[in-house]
Amino acid sequence: MSRFSPFNAVALTFGFAFLYLPIMLLVVYSFNENDLVTVWTGFSFKWYGEMFANRGFRDAAWVTIRVALISSTVATVLGMMAAVTLVRAKVFFGRTLFTGMVYTPLVMPEVITGISLLLFFVNFDINRGMETLIIAHITFTMAFATVVISSRLIDFDMSLEEAARDLGCSRFEAFMRVTLPNIAPAVAAAWFLSLALSLDDVVVSQFVNGPGSTTLPIKVLSSVRLGVSPEINALSATLIGLVTSAVIIATIIQKTRAVRES
C-alpha cells in the first residue's frame, strides 16, 4: 500500500469532486425555494411536496418498480437455466453459437434492441403496454444474468452435485439443495444487476412502452424536455437517497455476515 502523500490527497479530492460535485449540486438545489432551478433564494421542502403530489410521477414510479421486479426475477431464472446449460452440457451441436448469442445483447446497441423488439410487437399485433415492457426488459437483462451466473458456475466443483446425487437426490433436488445455495451470491448479484438495469432503462423502454405504461426514467426525460423544473431535482435527490441507503444496507449486511462467519 502506498502511504498518504500530498499527491494522493489532491488526486482523491479531484476524483471525488469530479464524481460527486454535480450530484451534490443537484441535491442542494432540490431544497431551493425558487421556481427557477439555478437561482437560490431559500431553503424549502416545497418541491418534495409537489413531487409526491404529482400523480404522473407516482404512476410512473409504480410502473417502473413492477416492471423491474417482475423482469429481473424472470431474467434471473432464465439466465440461470441458460448458464447451467451452457456451462454444464456436454458439447452439443451449435454450443459455441448459442454461447455467442447469449452474450451478443451485451454489446448490441440498445437502439437496435429497441427497434427490433418494436418491430416484433407490431408485426404480431401485440398491444404495447406493461407486458411488452416486461418482455423487453427480460430480453436484455437476461444476457447479463447469464454472464454473472455462468462465471460462478464455471468454478463450481461438479463433484458436489454428484455427491448429492449419490446420496439420493434427483437431478433437480441436487441442484436446489447443493448447487443453488453455493451459487446464491452470484444469483443474487444477477438479480440486483437486472433490477438496476431495468430500473433506469430509457432507450429500449421508449420503443416498447404504451399509453399508461410510462416508466419513471421516460417521464423524467420528457419533463426535462420542457425545461428542468425544481420538481425533477427533488425526484432525483429522492432516488439518490434510495440508492445510497440500499448500498449502505447491503454493505452492512455483508459486513455483519462476514463477522459472524469468522
Partner 1 sequence: MTQQDTLISPAPTTGFSPWAEPDREPLVQFRNVTKRFGSFVAVDNVSLNIYQREFFALLGPSGCGKTTLMRMLAGFETPTSGEIIVDGKNIVDVAPDKRPINMMFQSYALFPHMSVEQNVAFGLHRAGGAAKSEIADRTQRMLKLVQLDAFAKRKPGQLSGGQKQRVALARALARSPKILLLDEPLAALDKKLREQTQFELMNIQEELGLTFLIVTHDQQEAMTVSSRIGVMRAGQLQQIGTPGEVYEYPQTGFVADFIGDTSLFDIEVQGREGDYTLAKWKGADSPVYLRSVDDSPVSEAAKVFSVRPEKVTVSREKPTGEPNVFAGKVVDIAYSGSQSVYHVELAPGVVIKALDTNRLRLVSSTITWNDQVWVSWRARSGVVLGS
- Closer to partner 1 by CB, 35 or 162: give it: 162
> Alpha-carbon distance 201 to 219, whole Å?
12
Where helices occur in the chain by DSSP H, the ranges are: 6-30, 46-53, 55-88, 95-107, 110-123, 130-155, 158-166, 171-174, 180-199, 203-208, 216-225, 230-261
Which residue type, as a one-letter code, is found at position 132? T
Our CA angle for 122, 115, 64, nearest 5°, is 85
Residue 163 interacts with partner 1 (CB under 8 A): yes or no: yes
Q: Which of 28, 160, 252, 253 binds partner 1 (CB under 8 A)?
A: 160
Residue 10 interacts with partner 1 (CB under 8 A): yes or no: no
Binding mask 99-138 for partner 1 (x = CB under 8 A): ----------------------------------------
- Cell 438479480 belongs to 191
Residue 19 interacts with partner 1 (CB under 8 A): yes or no: no
- Closer to partner 1 by CB, 1 or 91: give it: 91
- Closer to partner 1 by CB, 58 or 177: give it: 177
- Closer to partner 1 by CB, 84 or 220: give it: 84
The values of phi and psi at residue 129, to 5°, are 180, -155
In the complex, minimum distance from the CB of residue 178 to partner 1, in angstroms, rounded to a whole number: 6
Binding mask 20-59 for partner 1 (x = CB under 8 A): ----------------------------------------
Footprint on residues 179-238 left by partner 1 (CB under 8 A): 181-182
- Closer to partner 1 by CB, 168 or 211: give it: 168
The residue among 114, 103, 100 whose CA lies nearest residue 148 is 103
In the complex, minimum distance from the CB of residue 173 to partner 1, in angstroms, rounded to a whole number: 8
In the complex, minimum distance from the CB of residue 180 to partner 1, in angstroms, rounded to a whole number: 10
- Closer to partner 1 by CB, 58 or 171: give it: 171
> Alpha-carbon distance 186 to 89, whole Å?
20
In the complex, minimum distance from the CB of residue 161 to partner 1, in angstroms, rounded to a whole number: 9
Which residue type, as a one-letter code, is found at position 83? A
Residue 114 contacts by C-beta under 8 Å, 6 or more apart in sequence?
Answer: 136, 203, 204, 206, 207, 208
- Closer to partner 1 by CB, 164 or 199: give it: 164
Chain-centroid distance of CA 2 in Å reads 35
Q: What is the largest CA-CA distance in the chain?
A: 73
Contacts to partner 1 by CB under 8 A:
157, 159-160, 162-170, 173, 177-178, 181-182
